[in-house]
Amino acid sequence: MEEEKDETEVPLLIKKREETEASELGLGRKVWNESKKLWRIVGPAIFLRIATYSMNMVSQAFVGHLGDLELASMSIANTFSGFNFGLLLGMASALETLCGQAYGAKKHHLLGVYLQRSWLVLFGCAVLLLPMYVFATPFLELVGEPPELARQAGFVCVWFIPTHFAFAFLFPLNRFLQSQLKNSVTAVTSGFTLTVHILLSWLVVFKWEYGLLGATVTLGFSWWLLVLCQFAYVACGGCPLTWKGFSMEAFLDLWEFVKLSAASGVMLCLENWYYRVLILLTGNLENAAIAVDAISICMNINNWEMMIPLAFFAGTGVRVANELGGGNSRGAKFATIVSVVTSSMIGIMFCCIIMVFHDKFALIFSSSQVVLIAVDKLSPILAVTILLNSVQPILSGVAVGAGWQATVAYVNIGTYYIIGIPIGILLGWIFHLGVPGIWAGMIGGTVVQTIVLTYITLRCDWDKEALKASERVEKWTISRRENT
């Protein structure tokens, strides 16, 4: 009890002096200080996300040089996996709210309990999602995919199951380490795993000639290697303040945790699913294999670059949660502004890169001239998508830091699935614009969503949010005391 008191108490005089000193700093100095705090999280998070997503890209690149059908099958299977990836990733982002606010309030003991609760919730969810993999082939045939493509993709989906369960344990570990600023650990482990994955993929696919199946099994092995590396760090003394071993407390108050995790999952998976739906819709067009290849290459480039905004999403969530947990409403608002501006500048740079290399970047995945031409035609829309995605995830990160996940979930349903997809279908089929029409309509949904999130953020009462964060942390602390 005494230890808990020492951990949380800060003399009022010191706190007031710190706030006064912060307010006297010039704008440039304040931006510099906030940028350092932000990049301490975002830098390793970018490396982590690019490295882990690159594992999927590496597998797809190796498979793409086996043939068009193999590439399309892997793309469809990755899309299926991506649906569940988005849901589990979103559910794990509840830890960004809870761990971030607890860490900001110096309630370190809560982080390990939150991690274990998240594992329980995500594992249960992963079990419920298994039918998506098992019955992938009939589902793909039902939505109009060519039979040969549906069978091959369904076969790959079954072998994606080990990867699926790895997500349930990895994502909470990432958030747990990230919320206490141990980002170098996630960066080093992901870099090591990517290196192993590239070597193994080359050996299995080309040297030993196990082809598509070998690439899929190797991918699952690599994801589990990453899980074991990060857990070994946590369990072997890397987090002495926040990891006290497995505890029965993880089973307490699970329903409250499930509700926040579910809201987080719905919020992020609706975003993650949105453009993955584009690949499934494309499979119903003429020359489906070529169309799927072209759009999947664009989506791979988009998703690869998206790892940078998603790192800012995570960094913003942690910074906002830390500041709100510590009662600093102005700090939370300023962190939001710095993050949005920084990410937007990076988005503009990548948008320009896509336009310059519009006829070159597809060579990473395919040497088919037909596919290369199809990708070249889609490059302007890809550039616009990248630009928009440099802003929208950061606003979602603010929502995670403040705990607004349920509100943003409703926004995503309305803008993506009531506006974006219907307009895309209208342009793609009714007006016969094909893939560009479907994609352009979906971009319209992203534009509306970004506008709505901007309005919500601008209207935010940061003092009120800081009070809510303090009450949330105190509620979990009281609940823990009552049950121990």
**CA neighbor of 227 nearest in space, from 171, 282, 287:** 171
pLDDT at 18: 44
Instruction: Annotate the chain with three-state secondary structure.
Output: CHHHHHHHCCCHHHHHHHHHHHHHCCHHHHHHHHHHHHHHHHHHHHHHHHHHHHHHHHHHHHHHCCCHHHHHHHHHHHHHHHHHHHHHHHHHCHHHHHHHHHHHCCCCHHHHHHHHHHHHHHHHHHHHCHHHHHCHHHHHHHCCCCHHHHHHHHHHHHCCHHHHHHHHHHHHHHHHHHHCCCHHHHHHHHHHHHHHHHHHHHHHHHHCCCHHHHHHHHHHHHHHHHHHHHHHHHHHHHCCCCCCCCCHHHHCCHHHHHHHHHHHHHHHHHHHHHHHHHHHHHCCCCCHHHHHHHHHHHHHHHHHHHHHHHHHHHHHHHHHHHHHHCCCHHHHHHHHHHHHHHHHHHHHHHHHHHHHCCCCHHHHCCCCHHHHHHHHHHHHHHHHHHHHCCCHHHHHHHHHHHCCHHHHHHHHHHHHHHHHHHHHHHHHHHCCCHHHHHHHHHHHHHHHHHHHHHHHHHCCCHHHHHHHHHHHHHHHHHHHHHCC
Q: Is residue 379 in a domain?
A: yes
Q: Is residue 483 in a domain?
A: no
Q: What is the pLDDT of residues 433-470, one digit of tens each?
A: 877 888 888 889 889 988 988 888 888 787 887 777 67
Q: Is residue 20 in a domain?
A: no
pLDDT at 234: 93
Q: Is residue 294 in a domain?
A: yes
Q: Which domain holds residue 139?
A: 25-477
Number of structural domains (the chain) is: 1
Q: Is residue 331 in a domain?
A: yes
pLDDT at 345: 92
pTM over 0.75: no
**333 close to 324: Cβ distance less than 8 angstroms:** no
How many CB atoms neighbour CB 106 within 10 A? 17
How many CB atoms neighbour CB 60 within 10 A? 22
pLDDT at 2: 40
Q: Is residue 19 in a domain?
A: no
Q: Is residue 484 in a domain?
A: no
* Ranges of the chain whose pLDDT falls below 50: 1-22
Q: What is the pLDDT of residues 118-155, one digit of tens each?
A: 899 899 989 998 998 889 889 888 877 778 888 888 88
pLDDT at 165: 94
Q: Is residue 6 in a domain?
A: no
pLDDT at 198: 93
